[in-house]
Amino acid sequence: MKTNQKEVVFIRHGKPLSAHNDKVNAADYAKWVKDYDRSELDPTSLPEEEASLEDSYVIVSPLLRAQLSAKQYGAVTINETCHNLKEMDIPFYNIPLKLKAWHWVLLSRTLWFAGFKGDFESFAHAKKRTVNLAQHIQTLSEAHNRIVLFGHGMTNYFTRKQLIKNGWQLQKKSGAFWGITTLTKS
């Protein structure tokens, strides 16, 4: 990396231990979502590749799976825990169906994107958080050449899109558990 070049590295958390894909009804899916948000990491979930944390400003989501991922990754110093980096809420609706958990996520996210409301963060609010996060990253990049964020799939995705709109260049991307996405700006 050139010395005048800025870099942002998003690292998605490791696989939560509760990330099973059992067939569940709406009530059990709502419990699945709560368990997912409180879950420890699956001990068999390990990074396939690692990004260096050296000379980086490290930001972590307040959610347990991101905190544990940063620790497992070897982050000795966490410079900031950032609420805007937390995952976009996983919505759940009381629909009389029995589906696999990840099918519930897909159905619920589709309804959520379409504007269906519930007892969770709206999509519009979640997107606003990612715009604010991108602005925060931009401000931090004035003082720090390299920023590493331990976050979540949807939040990373929408923040990345906003940074690209702001002139950052995508170098690589992965939305998988432990996936690394890198953007640069001169």
Confidence band of 1 (pLDDT split at 50, 70, 90):
very low
pLDDT on residue 4? 81
The residue behind tokens 């490791």 is 14
**Looking at the 3D structure of the chain, how many domains does it have?**
1
**What is the length of the chain?**
186
* Residue 1 within any structural domain of the chain: no
For the domain that residue 51 is a member of, what is the CATH number?
A: 3.40.50.1240
* Residue 38 within any structural domain of the chain: yes
Q: Whole-number mean pLDDT of the chain?
A: 95
Confidence band of 106 (pLDDT split at 50, 70, 90):
very high
* Residue 101 within any structural domain of the chain: yes
Over 50: is that where the pLDDT of 39 sits?
Answer: yes
Over 70: is that where the pLDDT of 2 sits?
Answer: no
Domain of residue 142 covers 6-185
134 within 8 A of 166, measured Cβ to Cβ: yes
d(CA 149, CA 144): 13
Assign residue 89 a region: left if phi > 0, alpha if psi is -120 to 50, beta otherwise?
beta
Segment among 1-10, 20-29, 61-70, 112-121 with least mean pLDDT: 1-10
* Residue 82 within any structural domain of the chain: yes
